[in-house]
Amino acid sequence: MHLTYLGHSCMLVETSGSKILIDPFISGNTLAKHIDPATVEADLVLLTHGHGDHVLDAEAILKRTGATLFSNYEIVTWYGKKGIDKGVGMNIGGATTVGQLRIKYVNAIHSSELPDGSYGGNPGGFVVSGPEGAFHHAGDTALTMDMQLLKRHALKFACLPIGDHFTMGVDDAVEAAQLMGVKTVVGMHYNTFPPITIDTEQAKATFAKAGLTLLLPAIGERITI
Ligand code: NI
Ligand code: MN
Protein backbone atom coordinates (compact mmCIF):
# COMPACT_ATOMS: atom_id res chain seq x y z
CA MET A 1 0.00 0.00 0.00
CA HIS A 2 1.05 3.59 -0.56
CA LEU A 3 -0.01 6.48 1.62
CA THR A 4 0.32 10.18 0.84
CA TYR A 5 -0.14 12.54 3.77
CA LEU A 6 -2.03 15.65 2.66
CA GLY A 7 -2.03 17.39 6.02
CA HIS A 8 -4.24 17.39 9.12
CA SER A 9 -6.25 14.13 8.86
CA CYS A 10 -6.22 13.87 5.08
CA MET A 11 -4.71 10.69 3.67
CA LEU A 12 -4.60 9.33 0.15
CA VAL A 13 -4.18 5.56 0.34
CA GLU A 14 -3.52 3.54 -2.79
CA THR A 15 -4.40 -0.12 -2.44
CA SER A 16 -5.70 -2.86 -4.73
CA GLY A 17 -5.85 -0.45 -7.65
CA SER A 18 -8.01 2.13 -5.84
CA LYS A 19 -7.15 5.64 -4.72
CA ILE A 20 -8.89 6.22 -1.41
CA LEU A 21 -9.01 9.82 -0.20
CA ILE A 22 -9.98 10.33 3.42
CA ASP A 23 -11.08 13.61 5.08
CA PRO A 24 -9.90 16.20 2.53
CA PHE A 25 -9.08 19.47 4.31
CA ILE A 26 -6.41 21.07 2.16
CA SER A 27 -7.37 24.56 0.95
CA GLY A 28 -7.99 25.73 4.52
CA ASN A 29 -4.76 24.29 5.91
CA THR A 30 -1.99 26.89 6.07
CA LEU A 31 0.56 24.06 6.43
CA ALA A 32 -0.58 22.53 3.11
CA LYS A 33 -0.29 25.60 0.87
CA HIS A 34 1.96 23.65 -1.52
CA ILE A 35 -0.78 21.09 -2.18
CA ASP A 36 -3.32 22.02 -4.86
CA PRO A 37 -6.63 20.30 -4.06
CA ALA A 38 -7.54 20.62 -7.75
CA THR A 39 -4.85 18.03 -8.57
CA VAL A 40 -5.76 15.46 -5.90
CA GLU A 41 -6.97 12.22 -7.43
CA ALA A 42 -9.55 9.89 -5.91
CA ASP A 43 -11.70 6.90 -6.79
CA LEU A 44 -13.30 6.72 -3.35
CA VAL A 45 -13.74 9.59 -0.88
CA LEU A 46 -14.29 8.62 2.76
CA LEU A 47 -15.54 11.20 5.27
CA THR A 48 -15.32 10.26 8.95
CA HIS A 49 -17.60 13.05 10.21
CA GLY A 50 -19.01 16.41 9.20
CA HIS A 51 -16.58 18.93 10.69
CA GLY A 52 -15.06 21.45 8.29
CA ASP A 53 -11.51 20.35 9.03
CA HIS A 54 -12.43 16.96 7.52
CA VAL A 55 -14.79 17.82 4.66
CA LEU A 56 -13.76 21.27 3.36
CA ASP A 57 -12.57 20.18 -0.09
CA ALA A 58 -14.78 17.10 -0.46
CA GLU A 59 -17.48 18.64 -2.63
CA ALA A 60 -15.08 20.05 -5.23
CA ILE A 61 -13.00 16.86 -5.36
CA LEU A 62 -16.07 14.62 -5.61
CA LYS A 63 -17.49 16.72 -8.45
CA ARG A 64 -14.21 16.91 -10.38
CA THR A 65 -13.17 13.26 -10.00
CA GLY A 66 -16.57 11.56 -10.02
CA ALA A 67 -15.38 9.52 -7.05
CA THR A 68 -17.85 7.64 -4.87
CA LEU A 69 -18.52 9.06 -1.42
CA PHE A 70 -18.61 6.84 1.67
CA SER A 71 -19.75 8.26 4.97
CA ASN A 72 -22.65 8.04 7.37
CA TYR A 73 -26.18 8.26 6.02
CA GLU A 74 -26.72 11.87 7.12
CA ILE A 75 -23.54 13.18 5.50
CA VAL A 76 -24.12 11.28 2.24
CA THR A 77 -27.70 12.62 2.13
CA TRP A 78 -26.40 16.19 2.66
CA TYR A 79 -23.96 15.83 -0.25
CA GLY A 80 -26.75 14.27 -2.32
CA LYS A 81 -28.60 17.60 -2.10
CA LYS A 82 -25.50 19.25 -3.58
CA GLY A 83 -25.74 17.01 -6.62
CA ILE A 84 -23.37 14.27 -5.50
CA ASP A 85 -25.37 11.17 -6.24
CA LYS A 86 -22.58 8.58 -6.11
CA GLY A 87 -22.73 8.07 -2.38
CA VAL A 88 -22.93 5.13 -0.01
CA GLY A 89 -24.58 6.16 3.25
CA MET A 90 -23.61 3.82 6.04
CA ASN A 91 -23.93 3.65 9.79
CA ILE A 92 -21.77 2.49 12.66
CA GLY A 93 -20.89 -1.21 12.49
CA GLY A 94 -21.89 -1.62 8.88
CA ALA A 95 -19.60 -2.60 6.03
CA THR A 96 -19.97 -2.46 2.30
CA THR A 97 -18.06 -4.01 -0.59
CA VAL A 98 -16.62 -2.01 -3.46
CA GLY A 99 -14.55 -3.97 -5.96
CA GLN A 100 -11.99 -5.95 -3.98
CA LEU A 101 -12.33 -3.72 -0.93
CA ARG A 102 -14.47 -3.99 2.14
CA ILE A 103 -15.18 -0.66 3.84
CA LYS A 104 -16.45 -0.68 7.40
CA TYR A 105 -17.67 2.35 9.35
CA VAL A 106 -16.67 1.97 12.99
CA ASN A 107 -17.22 3.81 16.24
CA ALA A 108 -15.56 7.09 17.20
CA ILE A 109 -16.16 9.14 20.33
CA HIS A 110 -16.54 12.70 19.06
CA SER A 111 -19.27 14.94 17.58
CA SER A 112 -20.40 15.65 14.02
CA GLU A 113 -21.97 18.72 12.50
CA LEU A 114 -21.83 19.81 8.87
CA PRO A 115 -20.40 23.23 7.90
CA ASP A 116 -23.89 24.83 7.54
CA GLY A 117 -24.97 23.58 10.96
CA SER A 118 -26.88 20.55 9.64
CA TYR A 119 -26.84 17.41 11.74
CA GLY A 120 -23.87 15.31 10.69
CA GLY A 121 -24.93 11.94 12.08
CA ASN A 122 -22.68 10.01 14.43
CA PRO A 123 -18.95 10.41 13.89
CA GLY A 124 -16.97 7.36 12.87
CA GLY A 125 -13.77 5.92 11.56
CA PHE A 126 -13.11 3.40 8.78
CA VAL A 127 -11.52 0.01 8.43
CA VAL A 128 -10.60 -0.69 4.82
CA SER A 129 -9.72 -4.31 4.02
CA GLY A 130 -8.48 -5.77 0.76
CA PRO A 131 -6.01 -8.18 -0.84
CA GLU A 132 -3.08 -6.04 0.36
CA GLY A 133 -4.26 -6.03 3.97
CA ALA A 134 -6.33 -3.80 6.19
CA PHE A 135 -5.86 -0.34 7.63
CA HIS A 136 -7.80 1.94 9.93
CA HIS A 137 -8.45 5.68 9.79
CA ALA A 138 -9.86 6.71 13.17
CA GLY A 139 -11.19 10.15 12.24
CA ASP A 140 -11.48 12.30 15.34
CA THR A 141 -11.88 10.21 18.44
CA ALA A 142 -11.14 9.72 22.09
CA LEU A 143 -9.54 6.55 23.33
CA THR A 144 -12.32 4.00 23.66
CA MET A 145 -12.49 0.35 24.67
CA ASP A 146 -14.28 -0.33 21.36
CA MET A 147 -10.86 -0.16 19.75
CA GLN A 148 -10.24 -3.71 21.02
CA LEU A 149 -12.76 -4.86 18.44
CA LEU A 150 -10.44 -3.77 15.63
CA LYS A 151 -7.87 -6.44 16.54
CA ARG A 152 -9.73 -8.97 14.42
CA HIS A 153 -8.87 -7.02 11.26
CA ALA A 154 -5.10 -7.62 11.69
CA LEU A 155 -4.43 -4.00 10.75
CA LYS A 156 -1.19 -3.24 8.89
CA PHE A 157 -1.34 0.31 10.15
CA ALA A 158 -3.70 2.81 11.76
CA CYS A 159 -4.03 6.55 11.21
CA LEU A 160 -4.66 7.98 14.67
CA PRO A 161 -5.15 11.52 15.95
CA ILE A 162 -2.35 12.59 18.29
CA GLY A 163 -2.93 16.34 18.71
CA ASP A 164 -4.93 16.27 21.96
CA HIS A 165 -7.51 18.96 22.87
CA PHE A 166 -10.18 17.90 20.31
CA THR A 167 -9.15 14.21 20.14
CA MET A 168 -6.80 11.74 21.76
CA GLY A 169 -3.31 12.92 22.52
CA VAL A 170 -0.10 10.94 22.18
CA ASP A 171 -0.38 8.86 25.37
CA ASP A 172 -3.94 7.78 24.60
CA ALA A 173 -3.02 7.07 20.97
CA VAL A 174 -0.31 4.67 22.18
CA GLU A 175 -2.93 2.87 24.25
CA ALA A 176 -5.32 2.88 21.28
CA ALA A 177 -2.69 1.21 19.11
CA GLN A 178 -2.17 -1.41 21.80
CA LEU A 179 -5.91 -2.09 22.03
CA MET A 180 -6.06 -2.46 18.23
CA GLY A 181 -2.97 -4.66 18.15
CA VAL A 182 -1.31 -2.45 15.57
CA LYS A 183 2.45 -1.72 15.53
CA THR A 184 2.58 1.07 12.96
CA VAL A 185 0.72 4.31 13.46
CA VAL A 186 0.47 7.27 11.10
CA GLY A 187 -0.07 10.36 13.24
CA MET A 188 -2.66 12.95 12.24
CA HIS A 189 -4.71 15.88 13.56
CA TYR A 190 -1.67 17.65 15.03
CA ASN A 191 0.11 21.01 14.50
CA THR A 192 -2.58 22.39 12.15
CA PHE A 193 -3.93 24.81 14.76
CA PRO A 194 -2.37 26.25 17.95
CA PRO A 195 -4.36 24.08 20.43
CA ILE A 196 -3.15 20.88 18.76
CA THR A 197 0.53 21.77 18.46
CA ILE A 198 2.74 18.99 19.80
CA ASP A 199 6.40 18.07 20.19
CA THR A 200 6.77 15.56 17.34
CA GLU A 201 10.14 14.17 18.47
CA GLN A 202 8.73 13.50 21.92
CA ALA A 203 5.68 11.85 20.34
CA LYS A 204 7.91 9.49 18.30
CA ALA A 205 9.92 8.67 21.41
CA THR A 206 6.76 7.90 23.39
CA PHE A 207 5.61 5.44 20.73
CA ALA A 208 9.08 3.89 20.44
CA LYS A 209 9.20 3.35 24.20
CA ALA A 210 6.01 1.27 23.86
CA GLY A 211 7.56 -0.78 21.01
CA LEU A 212 5.48 1.01 18.38
CA THR A 213 6.40 3.06 15.32
CA LEU A 214 4.92 6.50 14.84
CA LEU A 215 5.20 7.67 11.23
CA LEU A 216 4.87 11.41 10.62
CA PRO A 217 5.30 11.88 6.86
CA ALA A 218 5.76 15.42 5.59
CA ILE A 219 2.72 17.00 3.97
CA GLY A 220 2.75 15.81 0.37
CA GLU A 221 5.10 12.90 1.11
CA ARG A 222 4.16 9.49 -0.32
CA ILE A 223 5.30 6.46 1.64
CA THR A 224 5.09 2.73 1.09
CA ILE A 225 3.48 1.09 4.08
NI1 NI B 1 -13.98 16.80 14.40
MN1 MN C 1 -11.09 17.50 13.47
- Which helix (H) or strand (E) element contains residue 74? helix 73-80
Give the ligand with the smallest distance to the CA of 120.
1
Digit-coded pLDDT (tens) for 1-45: 999 999 999 999 999 999 999 999 999 999 999 999 999 999 999
Provide the 8-state DSSP code for 81. Answer: T
Distance (Å) from CA 189 to ligand 1 centroid: 9
Measured in whole angstroms, the distance separating CA 80 from the mean position of its chain's CA atoms is 21
Q: How far is the CA of 123 from the centre of ligand 1 (A)?
A: 8
Query: 154: which DSSP letter?
Result: -
CA of residue 166 to ligand 1 center, whole Å: 7
Phi and psi at 213, nearest 5°, equal -110, 125
Torsion angle in degrees (nearest 10) through CA of 52, 86, 126, 189 = -20
Share of the chain above pLDDT 70, in %: 100
For the residues 196-222, what does the mean pLDDT come to?
98
Distance of CA 24 from the midpoint of ligand 1 (Å): 13
Give, as one character, the DSSP assignment of residue 169.
B
86 close to 58: Cβ distance less than 8 angstroms: no
Q: Are 24 and 38 in contact (CB under 8 A)?
A: no
Across the chain, where does the E strand assignment appear? 2-5, 11-15, 18-22, 44-46, 68-72, 87-90, 95-98, 101-107, 124-130, 133-137, 155-161, 184-188, 213-215, 222-224
> How far is the centre of ligand 1, averaged over its atoms, from the C-alpha of 140 (Å)?
5
172/201 Cα distance (integer angstroms): 17
| 162 CA to centre of ligand 1 in angstroms | 13
| Interval between CA 8 and ligand 2 midpoint (Å) | 8
Task: Tell me how far the alpha carbon of residue 67 lies from the centroid of ligand 2, in angstroms.
Answer: 22
Going along the chain from its start, the domains and CATH numbers come out as: 2-216 (3.60.15.10)
Query: 140 C-alpha to center of ligand 2: Å?
Result: 6
Ligand 2 centre to CA of 51 (Å) is 6
For the chain, give the longest Cα–Cα distance.
49
In degrees to the nearest 10, what's the CA dihedral of 114, 118, 123, 129?
Answer: -70
| pLDDT tens string 126-185 | 999 999 999 999 999 999 999 999 999 999 999 999 999 999 999 999 999 999 999 999
For residue 124, which ligand has an atom nearest its CA?
1
Q: What is the mean pLDDT of residues 106-134?
A: 98
